[in-house]
Amino acid sequence: MAVAASAAPGALGTLQASRARLVAACCARLGPRWRLPGSWTCPRVDSTIWARGWTPAAGGAAWQRGYSAEVKTEDELRVRYLEEENRGIVVLGINRAYAKNSLSKNLIKLLSKAVDALKSDKKVRTIIVRSEVPGIFCAGADLKERAKMSSSEVGPFVSKIRAMINEIANLPVPTIAAIDGLALGGGLELALACDIRVAASSAKMGLVETKLAIIPGGG
């Protein structure tokens, strides 16, 4: 018993170190100024350029927006399989800049489809959920879309959000939420469904439903 007790701190330290290395490797390609405790620092990009979403135009012309208000529905979720030393890491990038990455019917469908495929892929070791839009992780449910729904449609829509979040929570591999900017309502519940949350200094989180005296319904 004494031997087991004395070995426990060492085992815990090894586990914590392994987890820290995993998070450091996963965050290395997530964006500017991601920093973890210790000596790991990820690549930097000028903060002003990143925050505004500007990228260099072709041919060295003036700077232009890195995203558009007109995003094809299939591009609202970008699934990337990392290669080389990061092989086995899959990044799910939410890309609805014009709607603050809010959860719409189409985005829920894309997330559910992606998660369903990943949970049976034996080559996947880790999944990262992040935003492709600077300054916003996810603003929760798409309330503009919901306002157009009939009362009979709202219940099934919320149920689909809950089912998708539960699917992420039950994935057989470690999941990491990389939070940059706002994570509100269902967006925060999405992050809470992940095993690990890594937040930028700009991150702001909240369950804003409580201001309306209702409980969060997504997770």
Going by C-alpha positions, the residue among 133, 130, 174, 139 that lies closest to residue 28 is: 130
Q: Provide the β-strand partners of residue 56.
A: 63
- Token digits of residue 127: 């999944």
Nearest to 201 by CA among 53, 1, 50, 26: 50
Yes or no: say if 104 and 97 are a contact pair by the CB < 8 Å rule.
no
Rounded Cα gap, residues 204 and 23, in angstroms: 20
Q: Is 97 exposed, middle or buried (0-12, 13-18, 19+ CB in 10 A)?
A: buried
* 10 in active site: no
Task: Please pick, among 141, 177, 178, 191, the residue that the annotation labels catalytic.
Answer: 141
76 is catalytic: no
Is there a catalytic annotation at residue 209? yes
| Residue of 189, 191, 193, 200 marked active site | 189
- Residue 189 is a catalytic residue: yes
Given the residues 93, 181, 186, 218, the one annotated as active site: 186
Tell me the backbone φ, ψ of residue 80, rounded to 5 degrees. -120, 130
Residues identified as active-site: 141, 186, 189, 209
